Structure 1
Amino acid sequence: MKLGVIGTGYWGSNHARVAVELEEDGLIEEVIFCDLDEDRVTELASNYGVEFVTDYRELISRVDAAVIATPSHTHRDIAITLLSNGVDCLVEKPLAIHSDTAWEIVETANQNNRTLAVGHIFRYHPALQAVKERIDRGELGHIKYLHTNRYSFRVPRESSGVLHQLAVHDVDIYRYLLGGHPDRIFCATNSWIRDDIEETATLTLNYENTIGTINESWQVPVFGKKRELIVIGTERSAYIDYLKDTEFEIFDSRIRREDGEYRAMEEGQTTHETRNAEPLREEVTDFLMAIENDRSPLASGQVGAEAISLLERAAESERTNSAVSVGADQFRMSE
């Protein structure tokens, strides 16, 4: 299989590295880089000893699959062109800025019988996968509450805010862990630096009798870079620091009623180590294996489009300053 990497900026250069490593390991036959910035792609291609082009359309006759790591507003044209011409695609998140565009990309992949994956990289985070396994086995009991913080201190991006850059991960993570969509969303944001680019957002998602909260901000200098998830179950709870790929904590704590009285039972916490795996390499490998085995990748096009649909409901909540319902009509097809 021959793989193209389109976009060699900050994140695209990571994809370039992983692609070359996979080629060296014999998992793909050839890698070709592509970028409009000829100076940048020339330098990167020279460093890795691979070929490059500056027009993604040149890849149609040269590769079997492609990673699209370009700015979000370019995803539609690149993905639809490649998918329509027989090239399987992994598109970085967000799949698109608008849900109509995201579903158009998904439908193009389906119509052309192509594999479409989206860069929801946290589905490949070893610690998150380990916690999901414990949830699925019932070790945490019923999940009552999920809470996420993603904080840093930086200048907001010019193109899109924290909903599409950060919350897109967490609405999908909750979907991944709980196996379903929220019934209702409330969202509040603010923009102080750039007009119409939210730099802080708080979301509350209701899933029947489970509540999920998400806090995202580029304006918090207190913690350095902070990315964490707390999962509260009726039997146990879990904590993940996403900056530690291979570690998570389990808290053996619950509320019990004995002799008519409620007691908080805390029986300690344990730190667990998981397998050592790079999430980005896991993501790309799953994409390649999905193509080879004619199956859906863990982070499929459907997954990516559903996340964008949920973000649009969150944006509507912010505009109307009210909670909005989430219905099945927001999702055009099921996996």
Structure 2
Amino acid sequence: MLPLRTAVIGTGHLGRIHARLAAEAPHIDLVAIVDVNQEARERVAEETGCRAVADYREVLGEIEAAIVATPTIYHHHVVKDLLGSGIHVLVEKPITTTVEEADELVELAKTNGLKLQVGHVERFNPGLDCVADDLADIRFIQGIRASGFTFRSTDIGVVMDLMIHDIDIVLSLVKSRVVHVDAFGVAVMGDSEDIAQAQLRFANGAIAQLTASRVNYQGARSMQVFTPTGFTDIDFAGRSATTVRPTAELLTRQFDLNSLTTDQVAHYRDHLFEELLVKKQHEPSQTNAIAEEHRDFAEAIRTGRDVRVTGQAGRNALAVAEQVLEAIDKHLWDASPLGRRGAQLTPAVPLRKAG
């Protein structure tokens, strides 16, 4: 496969990671690093051994693809320019700031026969990858994603920053239409929500309960998935998964709990997850998720197949995230509709003057 002539646009935290991995990838020929900040672009260009340019339009005739890691507010404008110039695009999440903008990009990519991939990198996490194909007829999902405050991505709240990862994963697993969203959020560090909790109800009856925080003293990235035939615990941080499968005797209701002898009770208590609820620890190969994302992008362009996370998938995750934000804005913290609402849990000003 010929290396894909590529530029990385944006040299923030994720942009630098993309640039470093792209420079090391055999399927990518990193042509240029693009950023309006001269010091930043030259530093990353020196680290990766490629050219530094201030404007992506300078390299449009030299590249086949671009990785866009600018702040979200610039995604629509930059990606639209690139797609309009015949360039395949991998854009970081969220795809855009609005669904309308996302719809425009998805249609433009389709019209021009180009790949548009969205950087929902957890889809390439080995912990999810090793069990995703076995998760069918999902009934309930519980996800938690928490971190400390990084002082990055302050232009968006925790729903677009963190929760949208789990929204995308849930949509890819449940494969049903969201029919109801209930949510609340709390702003801590600024005007945007830093803690959020959402419940998604799907047309097929499935429920997803998602919690996200970026002001947590302890990190967490996990998801528990319940189906009629088992339970799966995905550890995104540890990049592993655990499955628990009831035996056929339990699934067919032939196990008579009330007829067990004292000795049998003692035995099954000690061997529950070996003989009745059979537990299996999955230890997948520890691949780098962003590197796998790059490989998928390049292979899809060269072979013509779909990327794993399409522009449409990114658009759908954004649409549900917008519903979560709408539900947060409508949430009342007091009995009175004139009381506190939205992410502002505490009053903005003192209730009375001190002294």
Aligned length: 310
Aligned match of 1:200: 195
Aligned match of 2:163: 167
Name the stretch that deviates more: 123-132 or 311-320. 311-320
Matched, 1:274 2:284: yes
Secondary structure, aligned partner of 1:299: coil
In structure 2, what residue type is equivalent to 1:94? P
Aligned match of 1:18: 21
In structure 2, what residue type is equivalent to 1:302? Q
Alignment partners' CA distance in 2, 1:31 and 1:262? 69
Matched, 1:311 2:321: yes
Secondary structure, aligned partner of 2:140: strand
Which aligned segments of 4 or more residues in structure 1 are displaced greater than 6 angstroms? 259-265
- The question of whether the paired residues in 2 share the 8 Å contact of 1:171 and 1:307 is answered with yes
Matched, 1:232 2:226: yes
- The question of whether the paired residues in 2 share the 8 Å contact of 1:255 and 1:262 is answered with no
Matched, 1:290 2:300: yes
Q: TM-score, normalised by structure 1?
A: 0.86
- The question of whether the paired residues in 1 share the 8 Å contact of 2:174 and 2:206 is answered with no
- The question of whether the paired residues in 2 share the 8 Å contact of 1:6 and 1:70 is answered with yes
Q: 1:268 Cα shift?
A: 4.2
In structure 2, what residue type is equivalent to 1:236? G
Assess, with a 3 A threshold, how the Cα gap between structure 1 residues 48 and 29 changes in structure 2: closer, same or farther. Answer: closer
In structure 2, what residue type is equivalent to 1:132? A
In structure 1, what residue type is equivalent to 2:187? S
Assess, with a 3 A threshold, how the Cα gap between structure 1 residues 44 and 184 changes in structure 2: closer, same or farther. Answer: same
Aligned match of 1:63: 63
1:133-152 alignment runs, 5 A limit: 133-136=133-136, 142-152=137-147
In structure 2, what residue type is equivalent to 1:146? I
Give the structure with the higher percent strand. Answer: 1
- The question of whether the paired residues in 1 share the 8 Å contact of 2:36 and 2:55 is answered with yes
Secondary structure, aligned partner of 1:107: helix
Secondary structure, aligned partner of 1:143: coil
1:7-86 alignment runs, 5 A limit: 7-22=10-25, 25=26, 27-86=27-86
Q: Percent same amino acid among aligned pairs? A: 28
Secondary structure, aligned partner of 1:114: coil
Out of 291, 312, 315, which is 1:302 matched to?
A: 312
Matched, 1:218 2:214: yes
Give the unaligned 5+ runs of structure 2.
260-267, 333-355
Give the unaligned 5+ runs of structure 1.
137-141, 323-335
Question: What is the alpha-carbon root mean square deviation over aligned residues?
Answer: 2.2
In structure 2, what residue type is equivalent to 1:91? V
- The question of whether the paired residues in 1 share the 8 Å contact of 2:35 and 2:55 is answered with yes
Secondary structure, aligned partner of 2:16: helix
Aligned match of 1:248: 241
Name the stretch that deviates more: 302-311 or 154-163. 154-163
